[in-house]
Amino acid sequence: MSTTVSTSLDEFVAALPKVELHVHLVGSASPHSVVALAERHPESGVPTDLDELRRFYEFRDFDHFVRVFWAVQSMIKDAADITTLVTGLAADLAAQNVRYAEVTVTPYNHKLDGMSYDDVFTGLVEGRRLAEAEHGVKLVWCFDIPGEKGLEAASETAVLAVRDRPDGLVSFGLGGPEVGIGRAQFAPAFTMAREAGLHSVPHAGETSGPATVWSAIHDLGAERIGHGTSSAADPRLLDYLARHRIPLEVCPTSNVRTRQVDSIEAHPVRRMLDHGVLVTLNTDDPPMFGATLNGEYTAVAGTLGLNAAEIARLATNAVSASFLDDPAKRALIAEIDAVVADPRWQAGW
């Protein structure tokens, strides 16, 4: 691809208003924020040198990524740290023309690190206010269960979400390792959350097979699937996802960095799209993976040879799959359509 072509594609993607549906708050911490935290909390073992930090983020496999993530997680000690993460994420999103994001927060892990839930909520509320006031980005929350912590974590997270539901909480999720951690055991927690009006958005099919995705749908009432990468191995599942309009929160660079797929070219996103699945592009843990949302769009578009309308369809997919209200969805989609109509992009890349 020539420099001229690449620049045009980059400019088009940058011009598109976008939403992000799968990004973890702790995993969104910029390198500079992580270094500052590491200097305050040297016991964490996280490097305080940027070059060392980049090497620290060179993941060998998914288990190694989880260990790195936990090391960063352990440095978040108070409400101010939470607010710093939220506003830092908002600044990064605003720079990419991201207008709205659904951010995954794992309160139970913060409690294990000695924080009170009141501090977590205070940090989220203030960060959300500043994100919109200073960066024009609307943030809402998904509280998720750290699946490896078991049923106690599930029950406590569900009770917290329902009893003390903070402003901006819209969904309930399940993250962490998947192998050996069945989805069905978490059904009572998801039932409680769904009955309280929260949307079901569990991770499934990231590091396990299609059976995990089926379980997320049937046992947890999943309205969206976090990752869903292995869904492509089951054509019947892809047909079901397409027919029932259950979106996938696809995170290509994350899947490459955690060794779930070999490359963007090898990612099954094309099979998902060909089956008519509502695919959305997301970053997961962007600084940890060296990812940006704009970069996910340009990588997938360049690999698949997508034109402007096809790239825009990915952006509108994300808007449609979001939990924004209908007027906000229509307004954002109208903005996306206006960008596509600009004559600059009609000649392609």
Which sequence positions are flagged as catalytic? 206
Torsion over CA of 234, 239, 245 and 249, rounded to 10 degrees?
30
Question: Any idea which residue has 């699937």 for tokens?
Answer: 225
Task: List Cα–Cα distances, 280 to 7, 149, 179, 246, 266, in angstroms.
Answer: 23, 28, 24, 11, 17
SS3 249: strand
Specify the DSSP class assigned to residue 49: S
Q: Check: CB of residue 186 under 8 Å from CB of residue 176.
A: no
Instruction: Specify the residue for token string 């047909």.
Output: 239
> What is the distance in angstroms between the CA of the first residue and the CA of the last residue of the chain?
9
Greatest CA separation for the chain = 56
Residue 209 CA to residue 214 CA, distance in Å, equals 9
Residue 223 φ/ψ, nearest 5 degrees: -95, -25
DSSP of 289-334: HT--HHHHHHHHHHHHT--HHHHHHHHHHHHHHS---HHHHHHHHH
Strand partners, 186: none
Q: Which of 204, 310, 303, 307 is nearest to 252 (CA)?
A: 303
Q: Which residues pair with 203 in a beta bridge?
A: 226
